[in-house]
A and B are shown apart, each in its own frame.
Chain A
């Protein structure tokens, strides 16, 4: 891996490459440039996951004319694909190299594609086609399910960690901060906080799981957003993260793309 990245940096194909560097025995995200490309190390499979796409977004916004490379897992590649569709990243300014996730990480994440489409480092782990958590929740009787969710939502501190770490959350005016929608100065926040977030994650969430990982109250957010996206897939026929040319802006079909004016 270090040879490939070094080549890209030396050839000037990318101005910087976001990969990982071992610091005190743990991999940390690091921006490699031509100057510090000596620090590049050989690839090793890890379970360490970071919001590296958010770092890429920050870099791309600060330097819109530079090209960046990024080492992506399956979910991170889905995030970058989706951000291309939402015009947050430019396709010609991002170069992806892929790495696979280990088998137990794929199982923990219940990931439907724990490996990126790009040529990858590592062996692809088996995908989890049906989420056992969703199955278990759907088989619960309604009242028990409600009590389960309310008990979980009751621990929310409104830290906005879920929103801040999410690679797909980039709105300047977040609805969750809207005073008319979510009653302010209240802890725990109303349940509609989570349902509104789930509604916003419909068709957007790429199931990276960072929200659940970062939540200080261990609220099982992934299950909620997985269900929202399952509904979107059933109702609208759209699965976020695929590079199939479909965009959430084309749900209505051709009509939505026609210019305004009389027919």
Chain B
């Protein structure tokens, strides 16, 4: 069996809500749980504040995968924020799929503040999935006309 040198390290951007999933990630850290370091975390106050623009911009700037994590349904600190998240993520996932991007690269998960183990597992599984999917197709246009500043 030939060994394949897979030097591709996925770049994953995570939007974690301050009250639940960020605290869950913090718990994972305090508990010394191991998870891949490909993930870069951005703390947001509520997963409902993650706009389709943030997701599109992330992929534009080179993210291979985007993870959005929030409070469980019914437990949102702002009552209904995560309802908006489901709909928005569904919308932007559908739009990207229509444009030809793999919708598996965008993942939504509910992680509470006590679920440190779940956070580590989710990150591990998602990183593996993106590693198998390979680098994201570039949203970068091939410049025909390079204009200097």
Residues of A within 8 A of B (CB): 137-138, 142-150, 153-154, 175, 181, 185-192, 195-196, 198-199, 202, 224, 227-228, 231-232, 235-236, 251-252, 255
A-B contact count (CB 8 A): 95
Of all chain B residues, the one with the shortest Cβ separation from A202 is B91
B95: chain A residues at CB < 8 Å are 195, 198-199, 202, 227-228, 231
Q: C-beta contact mask, B96-108 vs A, less than 8 Å → 1, else 0?
A: 1111111000000
- Is A146 a contact of B57 with CB atoms below 8 Å? no
Interface size on B, residues (CB 8 A): 34
For the complex with contacts A185-B147, A195-B139, A202-B95, 11 further pairs of A-B residues with Cβ separation under 8 Å are A142-B97, A143-B100, A190-B60, A190-B140, A195-B95, A195-B96, A199-B53, A202-B91, A224-B98, A224-B99, A235-B87
Encode B32-76 as 1/0 by CB contact (under 8 A) with A: 000000000000000000001100110110000000000000000
B residues in contact (CB < 8 Å) with A: 52-53, 56-57, 59-60, 79-80, 83-84, 87, 90-92, 94-102, 137, 139-147, 149
Q: A231 vs B60: C-alpha distance in the bound complex, in angstroms?
A: 22
Report chain B residues within 8 Å CB of A187.
143-145, 147
Interface contact B101-A154, CB-CB below 8 Å: no
Q: Is the CB–CB distance between B149 and A192 below 8 Å?
A: no
Q: Which residues of B contact A228 (CB under 8 A)?
A: 91, 95
Q: Are A191 and B80 in contact (CB under 8 A)?
A: no
Can you show 23 pairs from A to B with CB atoms below 8 A apart?
Answer: A142-B101, A145-B98, A146-B137, A147-B100, A153-B141, A186-B141, A186-B146, A186-B147, A188-B142, A188-B144, A190-B140, A191-B99, A191-B139, A192-B139, A199-B95, A224-B99, A227-B95, A228-B95, A235-B94, A251-B87, A252-B80, A252-B84, A255-B79
